[in-house]
Structure 1
Amino acid sequence: MEQSMRSRRQLLWGVIFMVVGVLFLSDLDMPPIGQLWRYWPFLVMIFGAAKLIPPTAPKHVLDGLCQIAFAGWFYVSFERLWGLNFHNSWPILVIIAGISMLMQPVVFKITAKKEEK
């Protein structure tokens, strides 16, 4: 299990460094570094996706999905997409937490049945 976590972490950081290097080498009109901080929720999404590839435990799947949902909520609220902001969209976090709590026993039960077979 520890080896798979180390491999996953190494894969994630390798991809991040490659993407950053390619962006700096390309001739794209990059916004100033100060404006790039707006996109930090996408790093949280990448970390969440890394927990899903490959899913080594049911907890990793749920944690990864929750991280992706949280980062998406944060980005949407920060950019005020669809009229949502931090003031009027915080119940979405409560819903995400509730879905996570409901899904934990279901996912653990499904994986326990698969391990028995």
Structure 2
Amino acid sequence: MEQTMNELMNHTADMGQAEMFSKAWYNEYFRRAAESSAHARFCEAVYGRDLCQHGMMDVDEMAFLATMLKPGEKILEIGCSNGHITEQLHEQAGCEIFGLDYADVAVEQA
């Protein structure tokens, strides 16, 4: 499983800017991240919890953001990935979040 994330990183290094972070790239990222125990350990070590983050906020930053949201408030999140961060914010703040993402694999995982 760890090899699949390394392969993705190597593939990303070889890609042109136009392909990097494309829908196809994110679909592959989320497919591999879901299977990788190394990615889960990385997220826990760097961000404080495995929410399948990819260059996103850590748990302290997320808790701060949650203090700015109000219970019942309606939020539109564009780029919600697989919804793990969205769900965490919903649980912390009690707000309603509608998430959108263009990565089919992330939406399926959500």
TMscore range, shorter length: under 0.3
Query: What TM-score comes out, normalization by structure 1 length?
Result: 0.26
Higher relative contact order structure (alpha carbons within 8 Å, sequence separation ≥ 6):
2
- Higher share of residues assigned helix: 1
- Higher share of residues assigned strand: 2
Query: What TM-score comes out, normalization by structure 2 length?
Result: 0.27
Larger Rg: 1
